Structure 1
């Protein structure tokens, strides 16, 4: 470690060329330095390594045993350093082998990942996609630690410090089973409040949400009789019971077996965003993935 502190990249480059050329003059020419400068570098290297490294010979200079030991590790280290500081290669999805780690709720899986999946498999067949359950309090930390590369969450609740791209704005619709006797036409506000509702509570057990806040502003309440943690379970509940739900419109678009109506009051929607940490921001593969998802949704 003490020797490493005394070295700099120019000394290592000089040593690498000297071990290749065995001649100070030719080394100076390759390095675009003067011969005295290369001689100074060699003197410093001899002092640092405690070894002459190169000795006079009948045809130029010959390396010492210590120099021979240094040759291959030094070449490998310089090649690795060159790769590290070289500009990133352009990303070729057809040849890529990345594993992308994405955090999403079941809603994000259905409305963002599913529409993108077939095209992603076609464009980048050698890549893999790992999807993790969305846990908002852990999102930022897991992204910075490298546990995930990308997340889908509402813009309003996105953690600060992450890059964000808005994907779309979502709105709520009233949903029940096809043939529901009380959904043959758009219900009045009073009729809406008398229906038995199911609500999605991501944290579990909640019976109050955005719709209830909108009702409270006009002095009304509704009957929420079932609370579940996932959107997709709600669709099965609605298809097999007379319960109704206020659901994001994209989640029930083109779904058979359900009646979808405009609600009798205005319920604020939300903006859905794609989030990623600074460590991924300039990565060509990550940039390609983000652009692909934007195009897909």
Structure 2
């Protein structure tokens, strides 16, 4: 071990301040230590550099030629170490990276699509890799970096993840215009008499939240079709006499479909953005999360 190996960052900062100020008192104040502590550090610095470094005169400490020669390389070292702690600036226009995001087809259509448009407008060098939402592997993939963030409901999110609430979604009934059964859109009898399509993400399911709410009322509907995702449902409705209950954000602005409030109370659901510790303090990830959250809020408004 050399004598320089015995020096620590505080001692180097003390040397930098002593060169700049020529004052033990001002150096102690800058470092938040006592004057004897600075004097002890100066003794170790003199030993390490085998030079007195400073000569005491009436106007304070005056640098020796050795101390003066150390000034520039010392400042370069301290500036370099400071850069390790300073987060890099995130400039969307210059950023070049791939953002990996997991979402259902509903979340992709209602949230990722406007977000992608914003990225193209403000951050054209950022590529978006959209992944399907696999809740079984979600936490591991966020933690190992194969995913950066995910759009989920509370039931889909492991408790160990960081999260930000986005909005609460509601439900709407949807059919093709001129549907023959639903002449009275507020009729529960007409609703139950219609043939329905439900979304079963796992495939093959013929019950959803609507059915559970109907059971509480002692009612039942006829589910004729089960599909694995939301996006194919509007096209299916346009060419059949099926009825569906779909998230409001997905269909509220569809002029090619008949959209109306369900004739029974249906609890909504919350959507969250989630991410792992790995990405929590990363300035680029923080900026992209803020951009996504702001985009979703704007789309909601």
What is the distance in 2 between the residues matched to 1:247 and 1:88?
Answer: 43
The C-alpha deviation readout for 1:50-71, integer Å capped at 9, x for no partner, is: xxxxxxxxxxxxxxxxxxxxxx
Query: How has the CA–CA distance of structure 1 residues 261 and 145 changed in structure 2, closer, same or farther, with 3 Å as cutoff?
Result: same
- TM-score, length-normalised on structure 1? 0.74
- Return the alpha-carbon distance in structure 1 between the equivalents of residues 261 and 218 of structure 2: 20
**1:36 match:** 47
Shift of 1:86: 3.1
Q: Name 1:288's counterpart in structure 2.
A: 287
Contact conserved, 2:184 with 2:190, CA < 8 A, in 1?
A: no
Task: Look up the SS of the partner of 1:34 in the other structure.
Answer: helix
Q: Residue 294 and residue 34 in structure 1: after superposition, are their counterparts in 2 closer, same or farther (change >3 A)?
A: closer
Deviation at 1:257, TM superposition (A): 1.6
Q: Does 1:243 align with 2:242?
A: yes
Aligned residues: CA RMSD: 2.8
Correspondences of 1:126-205 after superposition (within 5 Å): 126-205=125-204
From 5, 21, 24, the equivalent of 1:11 is: 5
CA drift of 1:150 comes to: 0.7
Preserved contact between residue 182 and residue 190 of structure 2 (Cα < 8 Å): no
Query: Structure 2 CA distance, aligned partners of 1:187 and 1:35?
Result: 89
**Could you list the per-position Cα deviations for residues 183-229 of structure 1 after superposition, in whole angstroms to 9, with x for gaps in the alignment?**
34414112211110000001111111100110111111111111110
Q: Which residue of 2 aligns with 1:104?
A: 103
TM-score, normalised to structure 2's length? 0.73
Cα distance in 2 for partners of 1:154, 1:195 equals 29
Report if aligned partners of 1:183, 1:259 keep a CA contact under 8 Å in 2.
Answer: no
How many corresponding residue pairs? 241
- Unmatched segments (≥5 aa) in structure 1: 1-5, 15-28, 40-77
| Aligned-pair CA distance for 1:38 | 3.8
Equivalent residue, structure 2, for 1:69: none
Return 5+ residue gaps in structure 2 as ranges: 9-18, 21-40, 51-76, 297-301
Deviation at 1:124, TM superposition (A): 0.9
